[in-house]
Amino acid sequence: MKSPIENKPLEKPPRAEKRFSVAPMMDWTDRHYRFLARQLSKRAVLYTEMIHARAIVHGDRSRFLDFHPEESPVVLQLGGNEPEYLAEAARWAERWGYSEINLNCGCPSEKVASGSFGACLMADPGHVARLVETMKKAVSIPVTVKSRIGIEARGMNPLSDYEHLRRFTATMVEAGCDRLIVHARIAVLGGLNPAENRTVPPLRYEDVYRLKDEFPELPVELNGGLREIAAIQKHLNGPLDGVMVGRAAYETPRILLYVDDIMNEVDAGMHSLGQSSPEKHSGVDWTPGPSFGGQNTEDWRQATGDMRAVRELERLSGPLQRMGDYIVSMREEGVPAARITRHLLGLFHGLPGAKRFRQTLSGNQVKQLNDMDDLDGFLRQFFAETLQIAAGESAEAMRRPSAV
């Protein structure tokens, strides 16, 4: 594992203000997923899972904070409601090489609410302001907040109208919050479980746009339900400062292959003021805008066209090779292969060979990888075959010597 010193110096977050971020997701965006994500995009801003400030102050810091230098820039998301703990955790994070601190004001789970942090903090903007101010005094890296558009809970007046969001935001601006990331749904506390809280309350993107309009100086990032490249481009080319994508980036990591092109084009202002249309850029066929949610193979092929698939697969070859090296080197540090391969399972989602790929890298089969003498050789061969199958090559071609 890397010490804090070895993790430095790290890159700063991308210079351009506009951002594409991969959302913090408990159990999903651990360091191994982030390493994969970084192989697919150099420009995506990556987040940790939420970590409670007390765990960092009292717990095994190495376990919670270590990351590979290649993952940078990484934002540490903190949970908690005690200013001193949050400030101390933020200090540790800065020493460890994190680029930013983000405070969780959006998680609706009962466990979190019973500890009075996460989304229920939105009921007390003044307290959140104190938390932000205290962390800002403790560190020189940016301190940001991730919230919902509002909250509702039994026995409490609903705080789910735009007015409350506006008041919450005004208080954050006064506290010096460097960026607000808004999941554009309310959180229903006590009534819906976390998964339902990500699907049942309707998306209200218009509230987030209105916020940006009223607080032009505050970087505002939109989150929730973004799955299509065309939609992501559209939001990035508008007034907002960024988009944050969660489930789509985990379930179908291939989406990240497009991020650097999109961000370069946004930087170059090529899409602004209607100067050009998305389908003209990067040699990538943007139309029809592919969606990354749950299609079967045939739908995916029809929606995207074979050329798009071929280009994606070409671009996956390098990252897969790096992941193979990473799995081998992590095994030497005692990390079981399954802890890493579980994040790869969606890589071929919707393509021929996806099932075989998933089966080999999960369940009982993946346990055998740990004992393999030539794990490196196996992974190279296996990844090369998967790419070939996905590209629709014949069984005959698969038997030819691997090109990877």
Spatial CA neighbour of 397 closest among 18, 388, 328, 349: 388
**C-alpha dihedral (98, 102, 103, 108), degrees to nearest 10:** -110
Classify residue 95 by its DSSP letter: H
Sort residue 11 into left (φ over 0), alpha (ψ -120 to 50) or beta. beta
Q: Which of 10, 16, 26, 231 binds ligand FMN (CB under 6 A)?
A: 26
CA distance 363 to 358: 9
Six-digit token pair at 204? Answer: 């209200």
CB of 184 to ligand FMN, least distance (A): 9
Site membership for ligand FMN, residue 96 (CB under 6 A): no
245 binds ligand FMN (CB under 6 A): yes
DSSP three-state, residue 246? coil
Kindly state whether residue 225 participates in binding ligand FMN, applying the rule CB under 6 A: yes
Instruction: Say if CB 248 and CB 23 are below 8 A apart.
Output: no
Longest Cα–Cα distance in the chain: 67
Site track 137-166 with ligand FMN (rule: CB under 6 A), x = hit: ---------x--------------------
Active site residue 177: no
201 touching ligand FMN, by CB under 6 A: no
Kindly report the backbone phi and psi dihedral angles of residue 247, in degrees, each rounded to the nearest multiple of 5, phi listed first: -55, -40
Stretch of 17-25, 264-272, 297-305, 365-373 lying at the interface with ligand FMN (CB under 6 A): 17-25
Stretch that binds ligand FMN, among 90-98, 102-110, 136-144, 318-326 (CB under 6 A): 102-110
Please, what is the minimum distance in Å from the beta carbon of residue 189 to ligand FMN?
15
45: left (phi over 0), alpha (psi -120 to 50) or beta: beta
Q: Per-residue x/- mask for ligand FMN, residues 179 to 198, rule CB under 6 A?
A: ----x--------------x
Minimum CB separation from ligand FMN for residue 109, in Å? Answer: 9
107 binds ligand FMN (CB under 6 A): yes
Q: Which of 180, 226, 263, 313 binds ligand FMN (CB under 6 A)?
A: 226
Least CB distance to ligand FMN at residue 195 (A): 7
Kindly name the residue from 105, 107, 120, 177 that is annotated as catalytic: 107
| DSSP class per residue in 325-343 | HHHHHHHHTT--HHHHHGG
Quick one: 76 or 257, whose CB is closer to ligand FMN? 76
Structure tokens at 366: 């993946």
Is residue 342 a contact residue for ligand FMN (CB under 6 A)? no
How many helices (DSSP H) and strands (DSSP E) are in the chain? Answer: 18, 8
- Nearer Cβ to ligand FMN, position 249 or 369? 249
Tokens of 215: 């607080």
Q: Verify binding: residue 38, ligand FMN, rule CB under 6 A.
A: no
Give CA angle at 194 (164, 76), nearest 5°. Answer: 75
- Provide DSSP, 379-392: HHHHHHHHHHHHTT
* Burial environment of residue 12 by CB neighbours within 10 A (0 to 12, 13 to 18, 19 or more): exposed
- CA separation for the pair 209, 224 (Å, rounded): 13
Q: Looking at the DSSP assignment, which residues form a beta bridge with residue 238?
A: none
Of the candidate spans 20-28, 205-213, 336-344, 395-403, the one that interacts with ligand FMN by CB under 6 A turns out to be 20-28
Residues 47-66 that bind ligand FMN (CB under 6 A): 49-50
CB-wise, 129 or 182, nearer to ligand FMN?
A: 182
Residue 243: CB minimum distance to ligand FMN, A = 9
* Distance, C-alpha 236 to centroid of its chain: 16
- The least CB distance from residue 188 to ligand FMN, in Å, is 14
For residue 106, state whether it binds ligand FMN (rule: CB under 6 A).
Answer: yes
> Which of 127, 118, 129, 230 minimizes the C-alpha distance to 173?
129
Least distance from ligand FMN to the Cβ atom of residue 202, Å: 13
Q: Which listed residue (23, 145, 211, 257) binds ligand FMN by CB under 6 A? A: 23
Q: Judged by CB, which is closer to ligand FMN: 252, or 341?
A: 252
Judged by the rule CB under 6 A, the positions of this chain that interact with ligand FMN are: 23-26, 28, 49-50, 77, 104, 106-107, 146, 183, 198, 223-226, 245-248
Active site residues: 107
